[in-house]
Amino acid sequence: MAKSPDPLAEYNRKRDFSRTAEPRGQVGTSQARRRFLVQKHAASRLHYDFRLEWNGVLLSWAVTKGPSPNPSQKRLAVRTEDHPLDYSDFEGTIAKGEYGGGTVMLWDTGSWVPQEDIEEGLKDGKLKFTLQGQRMKGGWTLVRMRGKPKEKRENWLLIKERDDYARDDADAFTTGTALSVKTGRTMKEIAADAPAQTPPESENTTNRNRKRPAFAKLQLATLVDSAPEGDDWLHETKFDGYRCLAALGKGGTRLYTRSGKDWTDRFHALDGAFDPLPCDAALIDGEVMAARIQGSAFSSLQQALKQGRALVFFAFDLLNIDGEDLRKAPQIERRERLASLLSGVQPGAPLRLSEHIVGNGAQVFASACKAGAEGIISKRIDAPYRGTRSKAWRKVKCTRRQEFVIIGYSPSDKAGRPFASLLLASHEDDALCYKGRVGTGFSDAAMTDLMDAVVPRKTPPCADVPDEIAKDTQWVRPNLVAEVEFAEFTGDGYVRHASFLGLRDDKPADEVRLEEPMQQDSETTVQGIRISSAERPVFPASGCTKGDVARHYARIGERLIALSGHRPLSLYRCPSGIDASCFFQKHDGGGMPDELSRISIEESDGDMADYLYATRAQSLIAAAQMGSIEFHIWGARIDRLERPDRLVFDLDPDEGLGWDHVRDAAFELRDTLSELGLDSGAIVTGGKGVHVWMALRRTRGWDTVKLFAKTFAHVMATRHPDRYTATMSKSKRRGRIFIDWLRNERGATAIAPYSLRARAGAPVAVPVTWEELETLEGANRFSMADMAARLKLDCPGLETQKNLQSLSDGVIDALQSLSEK
pLDDT digits (tens, 9 = 90+) for 667-722: 999 999 999 999 999 999 999 999 999 999 999 999 999 999 999 999 999 999 99
Identify the band that residue 347 occupies on the pLDDT scale cut at 50, 70 and 90: confident
pLDDT digits (tens, 9 = 90+) for 414-452: 887 889 899 999 998 778 999 999 988 888 888 888 888
Report the alpha-carbon angle 627-631-636, nearest 5: 145
Query: Above 60 in pLDDT, residue 206?
Result: no
Compute φ and ψ for 12, nearest 5 degrees: -70, -35
**Alpha-carbon gap, residue 309 to 406, rounded angstroms:** 27
Mean of per-residue pLDDT scores for the chain: 89
What DSSP state is assigned to residue 527? T
Contact in structure between 442 and 414 (CB atoms under 8 Å): no
Q: Which of the residues are catalytic? A: 238
Buried b (16+ CB within 10 A) or exposed e, 652-687: bbbeebebebbbebbebbbebbeebebebbbbbbbb
**Alpha-carbon gap, residue 332 to 338, rounded angstroms:** 10
| Confidence (pLDDT) at 510 | 85
Residue 239, C-beta contacts closer than 8 angstroms, at least 6 positions apart: 287, 289, 297, 314, 354, 374
Identify the band that residue 66 occupies on the pLDDT scale cut at 50, 70 and 90: very high
pLDDT digits (tens, 9 = 90+) for 391-409: 889 988 877 788 899 999 9
| Confidence (pLDDT) at 818 | 86
Identify the band that residue 204 occupies on the pLDDT scale cut at 50, 70 and 90: very low
Collapsing DSSP states into helix, strand and coil, what is residue 785?
helix
Query: Above 80 in pLDDT, residue 488?
Result: no
Query: Above 50 in pLDDT, residue 205?
Result: no
pTM of full prediction above 0.75: no
- Average pLDDT of span 12-40: 84
Percentage of the chain with pLDDT > 70? 96
- Cα 372 to Cα 282, 369, 397: the distances in Å are 33, 5, 11
| Confidence (pLDDT) at 201 | 46
Instruction: Write the burial class of residue 712 (CB in 10 Å: 0-12 exposed, 13-18 middle, 19+ buried).
Output: buried
Identify the band that residue 137 occupies on the pLDDT scale cut at 50, 70 and 90: confident
- Average pLDDT of span 299-323: 86
- Average pLDDT of span 491-506: 82
Query: Above 70 in pLDDT, residue 203?
Result: no
Instruction: Please state the three-class secondary structure of 64-103 as a single string.
Output: CCCCCCCCCCCEEEEEEEEEEHHHHHCCEEECCCCCCCEE
Instruction: Write the burial class of residue 813 (CB in 10 Å: 0-12 exposed, 13-18 middle, 19+ buried).
Output: exposed
Query: Above 80 in pLDDT, residue 4?
Result: no
- Domains of the chain, CATH where assigned: 9-191 (no CATH), 220-397 (3.30.470.30), 400-511 (2.40.50.140), 524-633 (3.90.920.10), 646-748+756-820 (3.90.920.10)
C-alpha dihedral sign at 98, 100, 103, 109: negative
pLDDT digits (tens, 9 = 90+) for 143-152: 999 877 777 8
pLDDT digits (tens, 9 = 90+) for 239-280: 888 999 999 998 889 999 988 999 988 888 888 889 889 999
DSSP line for 640-687: GTTS--EEEEEEEE-TT--HHHHHHHHHHHHHHHHHTT---EEEE-SS
- Enumerate the β-bridge partners of residue 584: 572
Identify the band that residue 307 occupies on the pLDDT scale cut at 50, 70 and 90: confident
Identify the band that residue 805 occupies on the pLDDT scale cut at 50, 70 and 90: very high
Better pLDDT: 490 or 235: 235
In this structure, the number of other CB atoms found within 10 A of the CB of residue 702 comes to: 18
Identify the band that residue 1 occupies on the pLDDT scale cut at 50, 70 and 90: very low
Instruction: Write the burial class of residue 491 (CB in 10 Å: 0-12 exposed, 13-18 middle, 19+ buried).
Output: exposed
Q: Which of 349-353, 772-776, 786-790 has the highest mean pLDDT?
A: 772-776
Better pLDDT: 407 or 34: 407
CA dihedral angle for residue 383, residue 388, residue 393, residue 399, rounded to 10 degrees:
180
